[in-house]
């Protein structure tokens, strides 16, 4: 199996495959404008590291906490219970004729993914300061790894969502097939925002105290506990500039078989998520080169 006595060109096989006959020369100089993050070549070269970092984040999360996977499920389900009691029963908020627990859980699943990605992602560069100041790699892998690890979480909580939905006797329609698209919108928004936040966090260390508060505000600005139908048009459609509006309403439609498809909301949120992603990456790229000096 192992070829221990390899030498020369063969041993460097993997590297040689990428850089044939003559190894390329890289010029290191002060960069202006955009440089590394958006260079697909650079990201491809380090693809193994991207996987390793994401795998690390997943492994550590599921191993470190005593409750393991249960923790991931507990968060949205716990909120569902609290929301059902406070908003569903006491406040009597409308839930579009759906059972309030299902109504809120379908929204809490993508929201929890988004909120966790922001919370952990914004801290990812500072938390890996030792790495950033000692080794070169595309720094975007750190916030991206957090978001990717979150995908495992949302996978687990989706399973729970479906179990509860089916147990309630609700059967999702074919709209369930849009879930990957909706998750993609959430990923784009989460990556864009957490990349920007992680970069700001390197420069200004008090950002980490602001982030949890901002996430709370964002939660109330998103129709998680309430229905977006509470808003009158055109405000309802405009509110989809918040990418999580389209995602959350889309999730309800996809998993609970609600009557009307919120297609306009989803389209606007998708566009907004792409803009957030590009803006976040662009900002990250501009400040990335200084990270090692600041961290």
Partner 1 sequence: MSDVVITTHELGKRYTLGLHGHGYDTLREAMVQAARGALRRVGRRPSRPSRNTLWALHDLSLTVRTGEVVGLIGHNGAGKTTLLKILSRITEPTSGYADVTGRVGSLLEVGTGFHPELTGRENIFLNGAILGMRRAEIRRRFDEIVAFAEMERFLDTPVKRYSSGEAVRLAFAVAAHLEPEILLVDEVLAVGDAAFQRKSLGKMGEVAKEGRTVIFVSHNLAIIQALCHRGVLLERGEAVADAPVMETIDRYLRTLERAASNDLLERTDRDSRGYEESLVRRLEIRDASGGTPDVVVGGRPVTIVVHVTEVVPMMECRLTICNNLGQPIMTLDSEVSAPTDIRDGELGPCIECDIASLPLLPGRYRIDVLLKANRRVQDGLQAAAFFDVEPGVMADRPMPASGSDGDVVLPHNWRLPG
Footprint (CB under 8 A) of partner 1, residues 164-203: 200, 203
DSSP state string for 193-254: HHHHHHHHHHH-TTHHHHHHHHHHHHHHHTTTSS-GGGSPTTHHHHGGGSHHHHHHHHHHHH
Give yes or no for residue 261 binding partner 1 (CB under 8 A).
no
Alpha carbon distance 81, 96 (integer Å): 18
Give yes or no for residue 206 binding partner 1 (CB under 8 A).
yes
Contact 269, 247 (CB under 8 A): yes
Q: Which of 21, 29, 234, 259 binds partner 1 (CB under 8 A)?
A: 29
Q: Which stretch binds partner 1 (CB under 8 A): 15-23, 119-127, 261-269, 272-280?
A: 15-23
Which residue, 28 or 217, has its beta carbon nearer to partner 1? 28
Give yes or no for residue 217 binding partner 1 (CB under 8 A).
no
Gyration radius from the chain CA atoms: 22
Give yes or no for residue 64 binding partner 1 (CB under 8 A).
yes
Footprint (CB under 8 A) of partner 1, residues 76-135: 128, 130-135
Which residue, 57 or 249, has its beta carbon nearer to partner 1? 57
Q: Which of 21, 26, 167, 174 binds partner 1 (CB under 8 A)?
A: 26
Footprint (CB under 8 A) of partner 1, residues 132-161: 132-137
Q: Which stretch binds partner 1 (CB under 8 A): 48-56, 82-90, 220-228, 263-271?
A: 48-56
Give yes or no for residue 52 binding partner 1 (CB under 8 A).
yes
Closest CA to 187 of 238, 153, 148, 155: 148
DSSP state string for 91-127: S----TTS-HHHHHHHHHHHHHHHHHHHHHHTTHHHH
Q: Which residue has the tokens 């609290």?
A: 82
Give yes or no for residue 212 binding partner 1 (CB under 8 A).
no
Alpha carbon distance 132, 262 (integer Å): 42
Give yes or no for residue 68 binding partner 1 (CB under 8 A).
no
């Amino acid at each position: 199996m192992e070829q221990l006595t390899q030498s020369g060109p063969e041993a460097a096989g993997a590297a040689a495959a990428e850089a044939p006959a003559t190894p390329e020369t890289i010029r290191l100089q002060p960069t202006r404008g955009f440089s590394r993050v958006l260079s697909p070549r650079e990201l491809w070269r380090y693809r193994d590291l991207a996987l390793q970092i994401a795998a690390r984040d997943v492994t550590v999360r599921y191993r470190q906490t005593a409750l393991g996977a249960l923790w991931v499920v507990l968060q949205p389900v716990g909120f569902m219970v609290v929301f059902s009691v406070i908003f569903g029963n006491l406040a009597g908020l409308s839930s579009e004729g759906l059972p309030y627990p299902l109504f809120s859980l379908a929204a809490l699943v993508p929201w929890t993914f988004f909120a966790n990605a922001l919370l952990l992602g914004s801290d990812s560069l500072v938390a890996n300061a030792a790495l950033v100041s000692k080794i070169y790699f595309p720094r975007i892998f750190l916030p991206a790894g957090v978001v990717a690890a979150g995908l495992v979480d949302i996978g687990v909580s989706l399973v729970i969502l479906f179990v509860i939905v089916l147990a309630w006797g609700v059967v999702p329609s074919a709209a369930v097939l849009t879930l990957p698209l909706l998750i993609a919108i959430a990923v784009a928004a989460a990556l864009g925002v957490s990349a920007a936040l992680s970069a700001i966090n390197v420069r200004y260390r008090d950002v980490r105290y602001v982030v949890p508060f901002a996430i709370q505000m964002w939660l109330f600005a998103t129709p998680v506990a309430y229905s977006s139908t509470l808003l009158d048009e055109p405000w309802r459609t405009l509110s989809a500039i918040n990418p999580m509006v389209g995602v959350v309403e889309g999730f309800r439609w996809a998993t609970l078989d609600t009557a009307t498809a919120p297609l306009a909301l989803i389209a606007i949120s998708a566009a907004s998520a792409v803009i957030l992603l590009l803006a976040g990456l662009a900002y990250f790229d501009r400040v990335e080169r200084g990270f090692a000096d600041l961290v």
